[in-house]
Amino acid sequence: MLAASLDAIRTLIKNTFPAVEKIYVTTMPRLFSRPSFFVDLVSAREDDLNKTMYQGRYTWQIVYFAPVDANNNPDKFDQFNTSDTLKAALMNAMTLIGPEVSDDKGKIIRPEIIYHILDVEGGPRDAEVYITIRLEAEFTRPSETYDLMQEIQHLQMIGEVQIN
C-alpha cells in the first residue's frame, strides 16, 4: 500500500517533470543535485470500513529543490512554475494509480491500486517548494476459501435396521 502510493507519486513527478533526473526517497545525501525532488511519508492510517473492506489514508510531502545561483539563491520563477505545475498536475489527475507488480513468473504480487487525491497544499518556502498531498484508497480483504462439500455417504442405525 505504501510502496504503491510512493510509486504512483514518483510516476506523476517523472511524467510531469521529465527534465528532473533525481527523485530521492530515502535520506537526502549531503551533496545532492538540483533541481531534484524528495518524497517523504508523513503519516499512514488504515481503518476498517466493514467486514470485507478497509480504507487507507496516506499523507506524503513532496519537496522540490530548485536550482540556485552562485550566491546560493534559489531561482524564484522556477520555484513558482514548479509549484504551480505540480499542484495543477495533482489536482487535475484527481487519482493516482499504484502500478501492478508481478513476480518473474507473471504471478501478481500486488494489484493495481487507485488512490484518490483528497487535498493538496503548500508552495514555495525558502529555497525549496513543499507540497503536501493526502491520498485515500479502499482495499478488499482476501475472502476465505473453503473446500466445497462433497457427497457424503451417511449410514444411520435405527434400532436394528440400517437406513441408507
* Per-domain boundaries in the chain: 2-163
pLDDT one digit per residue (tens) for the chain, 164 residues: 788 899 999 999 999 999 999 999 988 788 888 899 999 999 999 888 888 888 999 999 999 999 988 888 889 999 999 999 999 999 999 999 888 777 888 887 777 889 999 999 999 998 899 999 999 998 877 777 767 766 666 666 666 655 55
Q: Is domain 2-163 in CATH 3.30.2000, yes or no? A: yes
- Predicted TM-score of the model (pTM): 0.79
* Long-range contacts, stretch 106-115, CB < 8 angstroms, 24+ apart: 110/3, 110/4, 113/1, 113/4, 113/5, 113/8, 113/137, 113/139, 115/4, 115/5, 115/8, 115/58
